[in-house]
């Protein structure tokens, strides 16, 4: 990459930053002869490309040999949803996917949650094309995973992301780069960093940005070395006056952190955004690891981002949680609705500690108190500690990362939504994975026990053609179609009121109910399930219920569950069909409420203003394009429900390559 590329934009004094280099002149001189980053790939990567191509040719040949067309087995599911979808006829081709990522020392990147993983459904081009989202961020093609180093600079939001420029499966991890004015419409830029140095030749892995006083930017990231050791590296923009931050310089003294004694060489990764120490002169950064099966967050101290000292003890540790990846650590205001800079602390703040657990591939968080003088964070509730309590998202979601948006004084959360289909299907469609719609994060002042996540307000700019349905009465065992036309790209806000007399008259109902183990929406109880059927076809042979379910104890206390059921989402056998969900706090006087973002194969569901969130990947074969429909339903046996909904169709976001680059 040429070192002098930049885009000339009108000067704006409010966006101006210092052009002083981060490094001293002597440091700059060391890299002046190699300011551009080579795009050459290691020999092993070229071999990988060849093998991937050979595999794809073999797959195509196999699929064209004697492939059977699937039998049409669509049948109406009755109103109580108790019938499951029949199995589809599948091709005889079989493939057991290889493990990807684990041999290199990171989490598993191959989806292995398909019970019929050996059966490859005969997907058509139309089916695969429909799966691509229209307003979620994803690259033009190939594999993507973790969001990296998000930041706002000179009028542009920047997103970096783990990317394989050669294939739709994980490997050869490079930093992709895109920019946006509004977090919705994106422009692809050239790669920010490629694996081309001994300290990152096996992968430019996850990292975070820190904006220093005066506007300087530093990026810390994990590199996988030529010896397969995880180390932390420093990079910084070649030209801070470039709003697009097109070129990045890797510090010649890398690595700046190596695994300390007692930490495995493959258990040391994912540095966070740095925050100021109490003395105001040093910076602190945490990253994840483990000791035996105890997950830990370690803290390093630095004054110049080139030299680091490991602080005594750990920020926090939780036994039996395993390796902590993609740790995030940030303050939230307990008084206001604004976000806080990462260095904020003191009265009126709590700190969120979040870790992505390598052992189960979920993102957990907890609220607590941070004592920087003793390098300790303490959870408010030990029973809701990191890894054993609350999750950021109860669906297909991992490796999340936040940043402070200084433009709008808010904290923004990104998260990776991976695929839950087969690698063979991903290779056929040529891409894998999306990012969530960016979410704001605030403290839930009403409960005091959790955060609230909500789609950024800019997403509402895509809405058009609103339709409202008021006080729709849903008797037990009923389904009501919502006639809005195609239901592929939607923003839905819905509320549900349960018949109060019937609820109070119910003495006991489904004590011990659990979304994931209680049979999904087909399992009927006195007080649930009821909600929405999204991405359903007209005959209900495919459908994805997102619903509430109320359980009640003999002492009169009720517990509300929020769930998403993929078990009948597709006739294809080679896709994940899980039931996701958890309990959700509902306070006195609150209606049950949900917001759903439907975008082709992605459904993001938010309950009670964002107290609980579920991201789902669904791969229908019939409920696609104009055949996708939307319904309200009540599959409870003992209570009527009154539902109201406002539904917008959503325009497609403009996501394309930046012009003239």
Report the alpha-carbon distance of residue 496 to residue 593 in Å, rounded: 6
Q: Residue 48: how many CB atoms within 10 A of its CB?
A: 18
Q: Which of the listed residues 421, 455, 489 is the one where a domain comes to its end?
A: 455
Are both 468 and 589 inside the same structural domain? yes
Mean local confidence (pLDDT), 600-625:
98
> Where residue 109 falls among pLDDT bands split at 50, 70, 90?
low
Are both 469 and 599 inside the same structural domain? yes
Residue 286 phi, psi (nearest 5): -115, 155
How far is CA 380 from each of CA 130, 260, 352, 623, rounded to the nearest angstrom? 45, 30, 10, 45
Are both 380 and 256 inside the same structural domain? yes
Structural domain harbouring 520: 463-650
Are both 479 and 627 inside the same structural domain? yes
Share of the chain above pLDDT 90, in %: 80
Are both 510 and 568 inside the same structural domain? yes
Whether residue 23 lies inside any domain: the answer is no
Residue pair 216/19 in contact by the 8 Å Cβ criterion: no
Report the alpha-carbon distance of residue 63 to residue 72 in Å, rounded: 19
Whether the per-residue pLDDT at 325 is higher than 80: the answer is yes
pLDDT of 332-341, one tens digit each? Answer: 999 999 999 9
Report the alpha-carbon distance of residue 179 to residue 158 in Å, rounded: 5
Are both 191 and 288 inside the same structural domain? yes
Q: Which of the listed residues 455, 480, 513 is the one where a domain comes to its end?
A: 455
Q: What is the largest CA-CA distance in the chain?
A: 79
- The residue behind tokens 């690891």 is 289
* Helix (H) or strand (E) segment spanning residue 61: helix 43-63
Whether the per-residue pLDDT at 576 is higher than 60: the answer is yes
Are both 446 and 475 inside the same structural domain? no
Are both 424 and 473 inside the same structural domain? no
Are both 200 and 249 inside the same structural domain? yes
Report the alpha-carbon distance of residue 328 to residue 400 in Å, rounded: 8
Q: Which of the listed residues 431, 455, 479 is the one where a domain comes to its end?
A: 455
Residue pair 251/235 in contact by the 8 Å Cβ criterion: yes
Q: Which residues carry out catalysis? A: 146
Average model confidence (pLDDT) across the chain: 87
Query: For the ranges 74-78, 105-109, 293-297, 601-605, which has the lowest average pLDDT?
Result: 74-78
pLDDT of 226-236, one tens digit each? Answer: 999 999 999 99
């Amino acid at each position: 990459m040429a070192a002098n590329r930049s885009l000339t934009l009108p000067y704006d004094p409010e966006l101006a930053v210092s052009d002083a280099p981060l490094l001293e002149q002597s440091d700059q001189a060391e890299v002046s002869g190699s300011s551009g980053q080579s795009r050459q790939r290691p020999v092993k990567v070229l071999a990988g490309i060849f093998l991937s191509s050979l595999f794809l040719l073999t797959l195509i040949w196999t699929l064209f040999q004697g492939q059977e067309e699937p039998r049409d087995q669509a049948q109406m599911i009755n109103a109580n949803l108790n019938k499951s979808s029949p199995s589809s006829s599948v091709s005889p081709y079989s493939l057991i996917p290889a493990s990807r990522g684990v041999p290199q020392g990171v989490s598993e990147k191959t989806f292995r949650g398909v019970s019929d993983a050996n059966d490859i459904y005969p997907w058509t081009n139309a089916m695969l094309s429909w799966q691509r989202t229209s307003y979620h961020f994803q690259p033009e093609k190939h594999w993507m995973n973790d969001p990296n180093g998000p930041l706002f600079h000179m009028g542009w939001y920047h997103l970096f992301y783990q990317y394989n420029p050669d294939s739709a499966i994980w490997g050869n991890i490079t930093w992709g780069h895109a920019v946006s004015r509004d977090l919705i419409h994106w422009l692809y830029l050239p790669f920010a960093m490629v694996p081309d140095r001994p300290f990152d030749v096996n992968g430019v892995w996850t990292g975070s940005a820190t904006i220093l006083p005066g506007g300087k930017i530093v990026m810390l990231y994990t590199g996988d070395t030529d010896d397969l050791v995880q180390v932390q590296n420093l990079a910084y923009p070649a030209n801070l006056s470039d709003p697009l931050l097109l070129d990045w310089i890797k510090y010649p003294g890398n690595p700046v952190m190596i695994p300390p004694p007692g930490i495995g060489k493959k258990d040391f990764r994912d540095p966070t955004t740095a925050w100021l120490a109490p003395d105001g002169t040093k910076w602190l950064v945490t990253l994840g690891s483990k000791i035996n099966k105890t997950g830990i967050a370690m803290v390093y101290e630095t004054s110049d981002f080139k030299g680091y000292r490991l602080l005594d003890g750990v920020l926090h540790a939780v036994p039996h949680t395993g390796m902590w990846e993609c740790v995030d650590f940030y303050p939230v205001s307990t008084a206001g609705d604004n976000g806080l800079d990462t260095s904020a602390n003191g009265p009126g703040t709590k700190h969120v500690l979040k870790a992505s657990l390598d052992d189960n591939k979920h993102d957990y968080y907890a609220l607590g108190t941070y004592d920087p003088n003793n390098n300790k964070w303490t959870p408010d509730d030990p029973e809701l500690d990191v890894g054993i309590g609350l999750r950021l998202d109860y669906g297909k979601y991992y490796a999340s990362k936040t940043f402070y948006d200084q433009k709008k004084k808010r904290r923004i959360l990104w998260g990776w939504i991976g695929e839950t289909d087969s690698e063979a299907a991903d290779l056929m469609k040529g891409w894998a994975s999306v990012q969530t719609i960016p979410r704001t994060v605030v403290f839930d002042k009403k409960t005091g026990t959790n955060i609230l996540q909500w789609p950024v307000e800019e997403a509402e700019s895509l809405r058009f053609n609103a339709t409202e349905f008021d006080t729709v009465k849903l008797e037990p065992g009923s389904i009501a179609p919502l006639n809005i036309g195609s239901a592929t790209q939607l923003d839905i806000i819905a509320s549900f009121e349960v018949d109060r007399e019937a609820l109070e008259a119910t003495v006991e109902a489904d004590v011990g109910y659990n979304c994931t183990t209680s049979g999904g929406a087909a399992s009927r109880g006195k007080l649930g399930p009821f909600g929405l059927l999204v991405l359903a076809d007209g005959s209900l042979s495919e459908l994805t219920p997102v619903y509430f379910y109320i359980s009640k104890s003999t002492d009169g206390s009720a517990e509300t569950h929020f769930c998403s059921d993929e078990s009948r989402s597709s006739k294809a056998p080679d896709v994940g069909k899980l039931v996701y969900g958890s309990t959700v706090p509902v306070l006195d006087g609150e209606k049950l409420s949900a917001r759903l973002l439907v975008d082709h194969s992605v459904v993001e569901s938010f309950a009670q203003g964002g107290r609980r969130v579920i991201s789902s990947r669904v791969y229908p074969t019939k409920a696609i394009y104009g055949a996708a429909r939307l319904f309200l339903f009540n599959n409870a046996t003992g209570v009527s429900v009154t539902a109201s909904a406002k539904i917008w169709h959503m325009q497609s976001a403009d996501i394309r390559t930046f012009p003239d680059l």
